[in-house]
Amino acid sequence: MKKRIGVFFGGQSGEHEVSRVSATTVINSLDREKYDVVTIGITKAGEWLLYEGPVELIAPGEWEKKAREDLERDPGHFAFSVLGSAGHKLTDIIDFALPIMHGPNGEDGTVQGVFELLNIPYGGSGVAGCAVTMDKIIAKEVFANAGLKQSPYIAFSSEDIGKGIEEKINSELEYPLFIKPANMGSSVGITKVTREEDLLPALRLAAKYDSRIVAEHGIDAREIEISVMGNEELSFGAAGEIIPAAEFYDYDAKYNNEESKLLIPAPLSEEQLKAVREMAGKAYKAAACCGFSRVDFLMDKSTTEIYINEINAIPGFTSISMFPMLMMETGLTLPEITDRIIELGYERYSLKNNR
Ligand SMILES: Nc1ncnc2c1ncn2[C@@H]1O[C@H](COP(=O)(O)OP(=O)(O)O)[C@@H](O)[C@H]1O
Ligand SMILES: [Mg+2]
């Protein structure tokens, strides 16, 4: 019998729209000879809706209207209450979950926790891997513990703003600075600060998104990324390089500015590529990642020193996103990549349950 793969898209984070585009790529790549595909959209308000319309309506957001119309016709059938008894049970309609959501409530272990509770195998990292990589402060502590080089940083609470944290940052870190909310993505809430007088507004902006904030030294860096797949044994995609069209790779440069360039493969020496792979593997294991991830680095332009920046547990999966392109560079096709993600999900599930 064909496995019923539930692809989850949307979600409650600022990356809802990106998720719809990522999920569309994944849905289209799933081999219909092998799988029955079930699509479940999570609205910005957090409702889980079974969506049975055309895939093309997912990216532009029109899926939601259709899902709601179906819901009105047949309330028992189309709505999910994650923990309540209303509606259909998720376990009745899917065998495997593929969450393709970015940011909080999707990529941070929460949705993964639901699949754990329901005992559904799922693709990608588990609760711990997602939670660790979503929180930039915890991720940095984990990377430090694994002996990985990173830019000097200070972690603090939004409560500390105006109570001495500015002075501490100014005395301990060198400008330029990057001020980041700990739990976001797509560069939302991040400011590059080059002058002391701009620090406070940057802190206040970050505080709008999270009470946990990081200040770190900004490196004049090349941005190098690598895709990783596996549970125990890891395989690597090519390394890629991003040349942002802006001061840094902010939201606009990521999604709107077509001048941002991707170099695949990244022009690196054998030695540098080896170092990137080694660091990526260490970081992936240290952060308890499973299935697949994209690991991002900053390479100092003057010293060529490589620093780890972050891991994305559920990286962008649009047809022009780094993760799939770096994997495809090694000869895999998109359907082979999604197949592998499903295989690895089942492998992790059986490792966990058969002991
Ligand atoms: N320490 C740093 N030095 C130089 N550039 C940085 C630094 N930290 C972040 N950036 C820039 O900001 C972008 C977004 O930061 P990142 O930590 O990757 O957050 P996000 O999770 O939103 O992608 C990076 O892609 C890079 O362009
Ligand atoms: Mg990033």
Calpha distance 293→123 (Å, rounded): 11
Tell the residue nearest (CA) to atom 15 of ligand 1: 187
Instruction: Please tell me if the CB atom of residue 338 comes closer than 6 angstroms to any atom of ligand 1.
Output: no
Closest C-alpha to ligand 1, atom 8: 178
Task: Give 121 Cα–ligand 2 centroid separation in angstroms.
Answer: 27
- CA–CA gap between residue 321 and residue 317 (Å, rounded): 5
Residues in the chain: 355
Strand pairing category for 212-217 and 221-230: unpaired
The pTM (predicted TM-score) of the whole model is 0.94
Does any ligand 1 atom lie closer than 6 A to the CB of residue 135?
Answer: no
* pLDDT score, position 87: 63
188 alpha carbon, closest ligand: 1
**Ligand 1 near 151 CB (within 6 A):** yes
Distance CA 58, CA 67 (A): 11
The residue whose CB lies within 8 Å of the most ligand 1 atoms, and thus the one to mutate among 249, 296, 306, is 249
- Say how many Å lie between the CA of residue 187 and the centre of ligand 1: 7
C-beta of 248 in contact with ligand 1 (< 6 A): yes
Atom number, ligand 1, closest to the C-alpha of residue 189: 22
Answer whether 150's CB lies under 8 Å from 144's CB: yes
Cα(163)–Cα(244) distance, rounded to whole angstroms?
A: 35
Tell me how far apart the alpha carbons of residues 139 and 310 are, in angstroms, rounded to a whole number. Answer: 7
> How far is the C-alpha of 116 from the C-alpha of 104, rounded, in Å?
17
Could you tell me if the CB of 223 is within 6 A of ligand 1? Answer: yes
Alpha-carbon span 120 to 97, nearest angstrom: 7
Q: Kind and range of the H or E element at 73? A: helix 63-73
Side by side, which strands form the sheet with 79-80? 79-80, 48-51, 35-42, 3-10, 96-99
Nearest residue by C-alpha to atom 3 in ligand 1: 218
Q: What is the pLDDT of residue 248?
A: 81
Tokens representing 267 are: 């022009």
**pLDDT score, position 27:** 98
> Does the C-beta of 125 come closer than 6 Å to ligand 1?
no
pLDDT in the model for residue 264: 96
pLDDT along the chain (355 residues), means of 10: 96 90 97 96 91 96 93 72 67 94 92 94 98 97 97 97 95 97 84 96 95 97 97 98 86 77 95 98 98 98 97 92 96 97 97 80
CB distance 183 to ligand 1 below 6 Å? no
